[in-house]
Structure 1
Amino acid sequence: MPDIHVSAAVIVDRAGHALVVRKHGTTRFMQPGGKPEPGETAAQTLIRELDEELALRVDETALQPLGRFISAAANEPDHRVVAEAFALRAESSDVVVQAELAELRWLAPGDMHSVPLAPLSVEHLLPLAWR
């Protein structure tokens, strides 16, 4: 099964809500982030993606590494996603949907089943947001 490497942000606000996003043409919500460009570190990838997708400017020192996680890919059949994940604090007023994103939601722990979620979010990343 081919791997898709990404960087992902587990963004939580002061109230404990976790940010999930949905890309145009997809149905599942996931953590913001994306694929690296040549020569980028995982943190550099995430900083660029957060700026492109959410107009969120982040300094690398604000990113807290969470580790590497592997799950079935949400949008590419027969692929796995290998994610380098980072924790970050932000508020709803800090983010704006742009680029390939169609929608964002802030989820409370009890909301996990209110929207269709990517396997990586369900299995690994959202539990980290609410630990």
Structure 2
Amino acid sequence: MSVLIDTVAWVRMEGGRILCARPRGKGVFYIPGGKREGAETDLETLVREIKEELTVLLEPRTAVHVGTYEADVPDLPGGAVVRMSCYTADYEGTLAVSSEIEEMAWFSYADRPLVPPVDQLLFDDLKASGELD
């Protein structure tokens, strides 16, 4: 039986590019967000993770679900699958990397190979809808 990794991600688009972050000690960029803790809702998880990673406060009332994606995790044995529920939301504060994050960057579709398979599915949809350059 495969393991399901349940995550929530913040889709932040500006000027045809999407915000991505690279955690400390990792060589891969991800859509910002993370795993649910306990009985957290999607929005509770999202607000907590984005505050921890990028030091801004999301405004839950502005959150809009834009899609949920599932893909195999190539690095994990036993057929792990990651599910990523994606939301847009406005924020307060200034985007800045926290102690968890090494670097943040604004990616175009050309940067798709730098993100994991589940993130690539989101990139494909954003490209198809004309939102991602």
TM bucket, shorter chain: 0.7 to 0.9
Q: Which runs of 5+ in 2 are unaligned?
A: none
From the superposition, tell whether residues 99 and 125 of structure 1 become closer, same or farther in structure 2 (CA, over 3 Å): farther
Q: Could you list the structure 1 runs, at least 4 aligned residues long, displaced by more than 6 angstroms after superposition.
A: none
- Give the secondary structure class of the aligned counterpart of 2:86: strand
Q: For 1:86-101, list aligned pairs within 5 A.
A: 86-88=87-89, 94-101=94-101
Kept after mapping to 1: 8 A contact 2:60/2:89? no
Question: Deviations along 1:55-82, whole A, 9 cap, x unmatched?
Answer: 1111112211023210123654441111
From the superposition, tell whether residues 82 and 111 of structure 1 become closer, same or farther in structure 2 (CA, over 3 Å): closer
Residue identity (%): 26
Tell me which residue corresponds to 1:120: 118
Kept after mapping to 1: 8 A contact 2:59/2:89? no
Amino acid at match of 1:121: D
Q: Which stretch of the first structure deviates more once superposed, 46-55 or 15-24?
A: 15-24
Q: How many residues align?
A: 125
From the superposition, tell whether residues 59 and 89 of structure 1 become closer, same or farther in structure 2 (CA, over 3 Å): closer
TM-score, length basis structure 1: 0.83
Kept after mapping to 1: 8 A contact 2:20/2:104? yes
Q: Which stretch of the first structure deviates more once superposed, 38-47 or 93-102?
A: 93-102
Tell me which residue corresponds to 2:6: 5
- Give the secondary structure class of the aligned counterpart of 1:112: helix
- Structure of higher CA gyration radius: 2
